[in-house]
């Protein structure tokens, strides 16, 4: 074995084993890729802002049915609020991250950083 290979093996042996996915403290509701993308988009705007349903759909390239299912799961978890209003005769659906949704997202990122041994600048 070359010294480079033995150095790599030694470093590997000294490293702590990675935790199993089930051992990670990651919120499964947010961890699902589509819901993670939705939450990332929602928390990227100021707390007082809300996004139009159609804007989320277009920005993330989701189908209406798929988006609705994921929004309902996030709403059931208390991570976002969905409001329906009329602008003139046109119905509009608005989506906004809740305070608990923003906290859950921040906790998710923090736990992911710890699991990966990273520091992601805020």
pLDDT above 90: percentage of residues in the chain = 67
With a CB cutoff of 8 Å and minimum separation 6, the contacts of 77 are 29, 101, 104
pTM of the predicted model, to two decimals?
Answer: 0.76
Pairwise CA distance, residues 39 & 53, whole Å: 13
CATH number at residue 60: 1.10.10.10
Please check whether residue 19 lies inside any domain of the structure. no
Q: Domain of 71?
A: 25-116
pLDDT at residue 28 in the model: 92
Instruction: Report whether 71 contacts 55 (CB < 8 A).
Output: no
Separation CA 109–CA 105 (nearest Å): 6
Q: What pLDDT digit, counting tens, does each position of 67-98 carry?
A: 999 999 999 999 999 999 999 999 999 999 99
Could you tell me if residue 41 is inside a domain?
yes
User: pLDDT band for position 32 (50/70/90)?
Assistant: very high
Find the helix packing angle between 64-76 and 53-60, rounded to 10°. Answer: 120
Degrees (nearest 5) of the Cα angle 80, 116, 120? 65
- Reported as a pLDDT band with limits 50, 70 and 90, residue 116 is confident
Beta bridge partner(s), residue 84: 93
């Amino acid at each position: 074995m070359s010294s480079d290979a033995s150095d790599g093996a030694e470093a590997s042996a000294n490293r702590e084993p990675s935790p199993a996915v089930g051992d990670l403290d990651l919120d499964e509701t947010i961890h699902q890729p589509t819901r993670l993308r939705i939450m990332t988009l929602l928390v990227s705007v100021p707390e007082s802002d809300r996004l139009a349903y159609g804007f989320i759909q277009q920005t993330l390239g989701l189908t209406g049915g798929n988006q609705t299912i994921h929004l309902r799961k996030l709403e059931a978890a208390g991570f976002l609020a969905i409001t329906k209003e009329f602008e003139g005769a046109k119905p509009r659906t608005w989506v906004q991250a809740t305070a608990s949704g923003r906290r859950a997202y921040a906790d998710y990122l923090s736990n992911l950083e710890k699991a990966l041994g990273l520091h992601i600048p805020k």
